[in-house]
Structure 1
Amino acid sequence: MGERLGLYVIIVLGEDVIQIIDAASERDGWDGPLAATGLGAFGLLAAICTLSLLYGTNGIPRLRKGALAPRPAMLLHAVMTGFLVALATALGSAVAHVDDVLPKGQHWLLCGAMAGYFAAGLVTALPLADRSDRVWLLGWALPCLTVSVALAPLGVGLPAWATIWILVALVCWQIAYGPGRSGGGPSGRRWGRFPRPG
């Protein structure tokens, strides 16, 4: 089941890529803002793929294999992919509006989709962690959740590419967050290191 759910996440991310390409193909030519927006959107999807599939299970970041029964895992997977579908719409709109500020509704959708993605990862991992690991997990998730929520009202005037690159930095924070230095939390488990598939 885990392999099939992971494959579904890959398909959803592929649809996100199609949205970006379709929006970019409607423009006459490449320029700086389009390049920055397009590369940022691809970078965001690649970072999400890394976090969800290489550092998680069933497409859910930081979820340990076998930690959840199949039905809760499928429910959480559905929630997570729902946020990725919303992200696809927002990224397509961002590429279509590279010359001006992203419409307010689309900006809120972009930030809200990522905030939901971060929140779902935290809600999944926190109850399954030992008490000593919870502080580590809060440091992993809360900064990203807080910044993405604050970015919705405070970043309305930012160009689309700037918003996207801030979100890329947040996902990269979760990928790089201290497993090598902290040992994966006080209990010594390496939350950041999961066996590679295959």
Structure 2
Amino acid sequence: MADEAQERHASWLELFFDLTVVAAAAQISHRLHSAESVGQIAACGAMYYAIWSVWTTTSVYANVAGERTRQRAVLRTMLGIAIMAASVPGVWPQLLPGEHHDVPEHRTWVFVVAFLLCRGIASRSAARDGQVVTFWPATQTVAATPWVVSLFVPEPIAYVLWGVAIAVDIAFSMLGATSTQMVERMTLRARRRQEDRDKRESRRLDELIRRGVSPGRLPDASPTLISVAQVERGHLSERLGLFVIIVLGEALAQVVAANGDQDWTRGVVLGSLAAFLLVVQLWRLTSEYGFTPAPRRTKALEPWQALPAHLGVTAAIVAIASGLGALIPEAAEHLHAKDRWYLFGGLVLYLLTSVFAGLAGRSPLRWYLGWVLPSALVAVLGGVFGHLAQGWVLAALAWLVLAWFASYNRLVKTGTPGAHGS
């Protein structure tokens, strides 16, 4: 049975569901282009987390449900993510630059409501199958109150509420997955809720019988058995890796789109080539290590470790994509500080996430000292002193940073576990 679980792959339904991520990544990246303050960038980060969390909870539900995955539930969530993505340009219009104040109203309401409904769909679907997802509790719960209250309070308080809700969501899932007491409480609450549902269903059947409905036409009254869901590790790793590839595709699309209306000068050609090679390096790291860019001496990361790392990696790639999209038109000029930090700040986030994954997987010390530390230091220096160089030079520098970071496996015989067991 374990071998069969490892051989399981993403279904056509799941691959179709992933198409919404393409639209969402593009919308977030475009919103980042127009961001002009830390608050605007933070809002983009919060929206990305909301979309990522909906995709994650739905994918985790499909992971534990397997062939019992409810197609309608997944398609409804797909519609919800599409609505969230379409709302991104108009969420928190007071944070948008002046020329964007003509966006339709109430997009923030639409985004929040769609988010809460989508999270609720995943939760209800898992509960109906009798599954308690203890390895990532966010699948079956959401801190809804801060999101709802944020719609009725002044902006500064609303921003804080979004941040609190996200922090609680992540902390609850990471701590809940590692706490035996929390796992037991989740299971006990699920059983009590199921008992209440079974009692209501029994009363409904009794009422139908009193009305004269024949036994053959009665719905199945068998009680649902509650069990703790077991993660299908190979399938989950594949799903998370596919998400990374999708986001990499958005980065490549940014490079291609930026070339569409440019004269192909020496700077544009060199900058585009360096940007393309940078995306290739990100892909190479994904193919070598999986979605968590770090060598490991131990077994695959636990879901409560892998999912936050996946969030960091994909958010970093979205930021890098925005930086590359702004760099190509300015390849022969000096980049604005914001766009420069999208590129190099994204690299730093990518490297910091690799440290988290490396600590969890007990990566060797020489990797930290010889590859992570120098790469992160050069990336920070690129962000600080990048105003002294032209855009194409910065793209080349970013590529060199990743090229060195990716050289570890070629220069050192690591003997680490397989790349795709993240």
TM-score bracket, shorter-length normalisation:
0.7 to 0.9
Shift of 1:63: 4.9
Shift of 1:72: 2.1
Equivalent in the alignment of 2:137: none
Equivalent in the alignment of 1:187: none
Equivalent in the alignment of 2:384: 153
1:82 aligns with 2:315: yes
The 2-side partners of 1:161 and 1:110 are apart by 12
Equivalent in the alignment of 1:22: 257
Equivalent in the alignment of 2:413: 183
Equivalent in the alignment of 1:124: 357
Percent identity at matched positions?
Answer: 28
The 2-side partners of 1:194 and 1:31 are apart by 42
1:104 aligns with 2:337: yes
Equivalent in the alignment of 2:300: 67
Per chain length, whose mean CA-contact separation is higher, i.e. which structure has more relative contact order (CA < 8 Å, sep 6+)?
1
The 1-side partners of 2:410 and 2:254 are apart by 36
Shift of 1:70: 1.4
1:39 aligns with 2:270: no
Name the SS for the 1:55 alignment partner: helix
The 1-side partners of 2:272 and 2:410 are apart by 31
Aligned in 2, Cα 1:180/1:47: closer, same or farther, shift over 3 Å? closer
Name the SS for the 2:361 alignment partner: coil
Gaps of 5+ in 1: 185-189
Alignment check: 8 A CA contact 1:20 1:41 kept: yes
| Bigger Cα displacement from structure 2, 156-165 vs 42-51 | 156-165
Shift of 1:196: 7.4
**What CA deviation, in whole Å up to 9, does each residue of 1:90-132 have, x standing for no partner?**
10000121231111211122111111111111222034316xx
The 1-side partners of 2:407 and 2:314 are apart by 22
Shift of 1:180: 5.3
Shift of 1:19: 1.2
Shift of 1:194: 3.6
Amino acid at match of 2:278: L
| CA RMSD, Structure 1 to Structure 2 (Å) | 2.1
Give the TM-score of the pair, scaled to structure 1: 0.85
**What CA deviation, in whole Å up to 9, does each residue of 1:113-156 have, x standing for no partner?**
111111111222034316xx223332121100111011111221
The 2-side partners of 1:8 and 1:182 are apart by 29
The 1-side partners of 2:362 and 2:420 are apart by 21
Gaps of 5+ in 2: 1-235
Give the TM-score of the pair, scaled to structure 2: 0.41
Aligned in 2, Cα 1:80/1:26: closer, same or farther, shift over 3 Å? same
Aligned in 2, Cα 1:99/1:170: closer, same or farther, shift over 3 Å? closer
Aligned in 2, Cα 1:180/1:159: closer, same or farther, shift over 3 Å? closer
Name the SS for the 1:156 alignment partner: helix
The 2-side partners of 1:36 and 1:93 are apart by 15
Alignment check: 8 A CA contact 2:299 2:361 kept: no
Tell me how many residue pairs correspond in the alignment: 185
Aligned in 2, Cα 1:22/1:123: closer, same or farther, shift over 3 Å? same
